[in-house]
Structure 1
């Protein structure tokens, strides 16, 4: 640690960590330093500013140093803290699941504003990961039961943990499967998914925070980036009721193959993310 940090106050620790992160090329260097120091001291980020002159004890310094070293190696803060906020809900996350993104909140917000979901609606979340979409729908709509699927047992364990913690008055059915393979349930009102959609050749261009830590299965969309999406469109049609909705996230350069939907789906909505980029589609089964 620098001489300034050895002074042992909250301010000196925060300044040191911010500079270490900045030197390592981490864009959110100040925010990350605040989040990690808040975790160590068990106070809010605002509390840090109210306690700048507070001395840190040996255990706190060692714990903070350990977390800073992990972040310098580009481990995401969400994995270090084992939590990530989504739709104002704090989710447990680890490296079995993709870290929930704000882009996916745009998809969920559209559903909440535009789709009537009742207590008995039949909804399935494909590739649930942390369960962020399923949990938002369980929490903010009257639906009593939801179906979730994932190809990863580790991801399903995370989703189940979150459901039981956050919406323990609701029910769910889980499937360990790829997309909707082997699911003998039909007549769904909504099939929703945030599938892998990054082109395989572009994975190496991702930030180390992503490609070195987040599950490749949740990122790799095949050579063109639409391999999983194409399968999803085909499989969902078999399981949706007439006029049921397929809602899925996609890359900002995705163009749907009209041959996939002609005579099968009506394109209802092209959704944007917070950066005004094309981010999700809503299809209605004809």
Structure 2
């Protein structure tokens, strides 16, 4: 007996619900679409299209992996972010909608024709840097990460998006080793989860995400203590920074950047109304630190 698209979606949803997973409707649809090589429109307009035996076997594999709490992004090897599609795997943090707030903040502060130089520290999959470059065709960027495996993912994404010509990727420890006062914009989504909190997270994060991209030290602020002075050092006078933070870190991170000499430090919230991005500028009169 063959299974149709709509039957597969319904059965997958029930199976993921029974496993106690959050978001079973969307997860089920994404897995069915990928397994059956179908689109969302196919499910609506051709719901009784039958899956082949190979497609059913693929869907079974996908659902079994999801039941074991492997993220959908890892199962499919891709994740949409802003207006781009990124390849992802276990070596990079899966891009989240919250991080789009960093992209939004930079785009609101710049114009499409600006010839910007952008530095993204802890580039990971390239999500922030590539999303900005896709919207700012006159801009060029540098992404830095300590992980060779993450840089390989970012390079693939830059190539597939046609942005490799405007994007350099470098292995490094934050901004250490970079020359001073080079960049108009500096962005970062550093690890900001307190070490002891990581073990309380969902398995999708705790087990499948790289610990290097999560662990912010005992209070979650270790990366910001290094980043604040380093970011101010490599920004051009008057340059802008935008860094993602945890929902309860506004006061601490703002204070760190203010102590490093940043001006106009403020925090913007995400769509849920939670503090998410700390922004500020380097003094326009300052030539370097």
Unaligned runs of 5+ in 1: 1-5
Q: Shift of the alpha carbon at 1:30?
A: 1.4
Q: Select between 22-31 and 249-258 the one with higher mean Cα deviation.
A: 249-258
Q: Describe how 1:204-283 pairs up with structure 2 within 5 A.
A: 204-254=199-249, 255-256=251-252, 258=255, 261-262=258-259, 264-283=261-280
Q: Shift of the alpha carbon at 1:95?
A: 1.1
> Which residue pairs with 1:114 in the alignment?
109
Distance (Å, rounded) in 1 between the aligned partners of 2:30 and 2:278? 34
Distance (Å, rounded) in 2 between the aligned partners of 1:102 and 1:34? 19
> Which residue pairs with 1:19 in the alignment?
14
Q: Shift of the alpha carbon at 1:106?
A: 1.5
Q: Shift of the alpha carbon at 1:109?
A: 1.0
Distance (Å, rounded) in 1 between the aligned partners of 2:217 and 2:51? 49
Q: Aligned residue pairs: how many?
A: 281
Q: Shift of the alpha carbon at 1:263?
A: 6.7
Q: Secondary structure at the match of 1:170?
A: helix
Closer, same or farther: CA 243–256 of 1 in aligned 2, 3 Å:
farther
Specify which of 34, 46, 49 is matched with residue 39 of structure 1. 34
> Which residue pairs with 2:83 in the alignment?
88
Distance (Å, rounded) in 2 between the aligned partners of 1:225 and 1:216? 13
Q: Secondary structure at the match of 1:256?
A: helix
Does the CA contact (< 8 Å) of 1:244 and 1:284 recur in 2? yes
Matched, 1:284 2:284: no
Distance (Å, rounded) in 2 between the aligned partners of 1:265 and 1:120? 23
Distance (Å, rounded) in 2 between the aligned partners of 1:259 and 1:7? 61
Distance (Å, rounded) in 2 between the aligned partners of 1:277 and 1:151? 29
Distance (Å, rounded) in 2 between the aligned partners of 1:173 and 1:17? 41
Matched, 1:176 2:171: yes
Distance (Å, rounded) in 2 between the aligned partners of 1:25 and 1:80? 18
Distance (Å, rounded) in 2 between the aligned partners of 1:125 and 1:169? 15
Q: Shift of the alpha carbon at 1:138?
A: 1.0
TM-score, scaled relative to structure 2: 0.91
Q: State the superposition RMSD in angstroms.
A: 1.8
Does the CA contact (< 8 Å) of 2:180 and 2:233 recur in 1? no
Q: Secondary structure at the match of 1:222?
A: coil
Q: Secondary structure at the match of 1:175?
A: strand
Q: Shift of the alpha carbon at 1:249?
A: 0.4
> Which residue pairs with 2:287 in the alignment?
none
Q: Secondary structure at the match of 2:205?
A: helix
Q: Shift of the alpha carbon at 1:259?
A: 5.9
> Which residue pairs with 2:151 in the alignment?
156
Distance (Å, rounded) in 2 between the aligned partners of 1:122 and 1:11? 48
